[in-house]
Amino acid sequence: MAPPKNYNSIPAFHAKLQSARRILAVCGAGLSAASGLPTFRGPGGLWRNHQATDLATPEAFEDDPGLVWLFYAYRRHMALNVKPNPGHHALAALAEKVPGFLCLSQNVDGLHPRAGHPPEQLRLLHGSLFDIKCNACGWIQKDNYDDPFCPALAAAAEDVNPGETLPLLDPSKELADIPRQEIPPCPQCDRGLQRPGVVWFGEPLDEDMLNEVDSWIDEGEVDIVLVIGTSSQVYPAAGYAEQARGRETSVVTINLDAEDEVRRLRSNDFAFAGDAAVLLPKLLEPIIGTPVTDGTYA
Ligand code: BJW
Ligand code: ZN
């Protein structure tokens, strides 16, 4: 099928945006790529010969909690050492200007909150690298920024000179086993280990949060759904664009690969191919204005 006329026209999108009252965003790892964080399924999705997605399972943690913790301790270290990019700032500014904007993010890197996104307009579908929970009981600790998380994970917090490879990342270097006993135990029960507060494959997302998202979608017609930097392969996140689609809704894909989508677009839809950190400030400019310094908004 031919793509809709104007599917990649910024002025045509601006016309739709000017009258939009309810906007939903569904974000993925591509949003944080410009900050320097690797995506899951693209280049960099491999960590020491392991697919990043193979380490994101409760079975992998049961099998080798030390290895899974090293992966997450390294991700915490990287996330703490990068900054939110103009894409995160543009979404935070949109939230300030449009009360009917809700941002759903699959990203666990803490960059939306650090960009000042109002918490009531943000739902972190897959949790946060900076929450710690028990793998056996309901214990949870918010906002833990310890780096390294514990002494046994010190290798994940090493800094190297530019051009050098961190020994931890070099598959030709032997990785010391981290015994289970060196992972901090749960302070509340005598059975569990502390683990990252993220949602792994096969685990349920927070039920209250899912109910809130469903209620928000049901409250009225959603004018625009922004699908930003996600491969839309993981559910339930991948289902929200269609769930929120009404008669006049525009689903707007913002992705390096957006041109691959154009044959699937419906008549009101848009697709913008490129870096979300560059596109979002331009696409949202009629509402949020132009950035002041460092991609931030006044
Ligand atoms: C750029 C860019 C730039 C690059 N600018 N763009 C229905 C059908 C089939 C299966 C299921 C279903 N419902 C549920 C399932 C099972 C499963 C699932 O979805 N499987 C699929 C793989 C088929 N879902 C689950 O298990 C979920 N749980 C669940 O449903 O529970 C139900 C239940 C109920 C009751 C009891 C028990 C269970 C949980 C899913 C959790 C996913 N977790 C992870 C790890 C989180 C922790 C961590 O970060 O390590 O979440 S997996 C990983 O994938 C991570 C991500 O958030 C997620 C999505 O990845 P994302 O963000 O899309 O990244 P990429 O790399 O895939 O894509 C990046 C994109 O950016 C690309 O398109 C690039 O082109 C683009 N890009 N640079 C713009 N600069
Ligand atoms: Zn516990």
Q: Is the CB of 230 under 6 A from ligand 1?
A: yes
Nearest ligand to residue 260 Cα: 1
> Which has the higher per-residue pLDDT, 36 or 168?
36
Q: Is the CB of 86 under 6 A from ligand 1?
A: no
pLDDT of amino acid 250: 98
Q: Is the CB of 43 under 6 A from ligand 1?
A: no
Distance 185 CA to ligand 2 centre (A): 8
Average pLDDT, the chain: 95
Q: CA 23 to CA 190: how far, in whole Å?
A: 45
The CB density around residue 11, as the number of other CB atoms within 10 Å, is: 8
- So which residues are the catalytic ones? 126
pLDDT of amino acid 252: 98
What's the pLDDT tens digit per position in 195-229?
999 999 999 999 999 999 999 999 999 999 999 99
Lowest mean pLDDT among 58-72, 125-139, 149-163: 149-163
Mean pLDDT within 100-106: 99
Answer whether residue 163 shows pLDDT above 80.
no
Residues 23, 98 contacting (CB under 8 angstroms): yes
- CA dihedral (178, 183, 143, 87) positive or negative: positive
Q: Is the CB of 151 under 6 A from ligand 1?
A: no
Nearest ligand to residue 189 Cα: 2
Distance 14 CA to ligand 1 centre (A): 29
Answer whether residue 254 shows pLDDT above 90.
yes
pLDDT of amino acid 175: 81
Q: Whose CA is nearest to atom 10 of ligand 1?
A: 235
Answer whether residue 162 shows pLDDT above 80.
no
Q: CA 164 to CA 158: how far, in whole Å?
A: 12
How much is the pTM?
A: 0.97
Distance 193 CA to ligand 2 centre (A): 7
Ligand 1 atom nearest residue 72's Cα? 50
State phi, psi for 161 to the nearest 5 degrees: -70, 150
Q: Is the CB of 41 under 6 A from ligand 1?
A: yes
Distance 187 CA to ligand 1 centre (A): 30
Ligand 1 atom nearest residue 125's Cα? 57
